[in-house]
Amino acid sequence: MWMLLVGFIAFFYVLFDVNYFIRIAFTIGLARYFRRKVKPYDETVIYGICTTNDVDIFIRHMNNARYVRELDFARFDFYDRSNLYNEVVKRKGNAMQGASNIRYRRTIPIFNVYKVQTKLIYWDDKAIYLEQKFITLSDGFVRAVALSKQNLVNIDVDDMMKSLCGKDFSRPEMPEELEKWLQSVEISSSKLRKSD
């Protein structure tokens, strides 16, 4: 019986990234039942530690791909705590990553604790835009900064944000770095449309 159970678990670990799904369930459960709710324009924070599962080939600091993975967990936390996820579901829409840009400033060394701050910085009629920062707790240094475009499908974003923000509803000004990045995304999209 035990051998069958071990074989079953091993089978799933081979076929799926089981730790990813466990971490998502843990992150959402924590956000939903133990962390305070926030408004969509409030900053949220999750914490992590660079372990041996996160390092690159030199086993000294976090692998670049792990940053992007951690951003996923931070977005899940933000969506749940800000009630964005429930609002998207209620409106029978869908949220999906449309684009992302990450700038690495300095590595996160192995066994260092860090936090990921997530903040809604802008929205338009089709998407919301998040800024996420990796900050090491030991020195408060911003190790990486990411921008992400979250496409909201079949949703009137302004109407949704009015519902979520209430009397505090006011679309923020687009930050310059977001504006320039979105110009770059549009140039890329235009080139690809021409080649299709």
Q: What is the pTM of this model?
A: 0.90
Domain boundaries, position 148:
2-177
Render pLDDT for 5-30 as a digit per residue (tens, 0 to 9). 888 888 888 888 888 999 999 999 99
**Residue 67 is assigned to a structural domain of this protein:** yes
**Residue 182 is assigned to a structural domain of this protein:** no
**Residue 187 is assigned to a structural domain of this protein:** no
In this structure, of 60-74, 134-148, 161-175, the range with the lowest mean pLDDT score is 161-175
**Residue 25 is assigned to a structural domain of this protein:** yes
The CATH number of the domain where 32 resides is what? 3.10.129.10
> H-type helices in the chain, by residue range?
2-15, 18-33, 64-81, 84-90, 157-165, 176-195
Predicted local distance difference test score (pLDDT) of residue 71 = 97
Q: Determine the average pLDDT of the residues in 144-170.
A: 91
Phi, psi (degrees; rounded to nearest 5) at 149:
-105, 120
**Residue 195 is assigned to a structural domain of this protein:** no
**Residue 89 is assigned to a structural domain of this protein:** yes
**Residue 21 is assigned to a structural domain of this protein:** yes
Q: Is the pLDDT of residue 46 over 90?
A: yes
d(CA 155, CA 139): 41
Render pLDDT for 56-75 as a digit per residue (tens, 0 to 9). 999 999 999 999 999 999 99
When divided into structural domains, the chain yields a total of 1
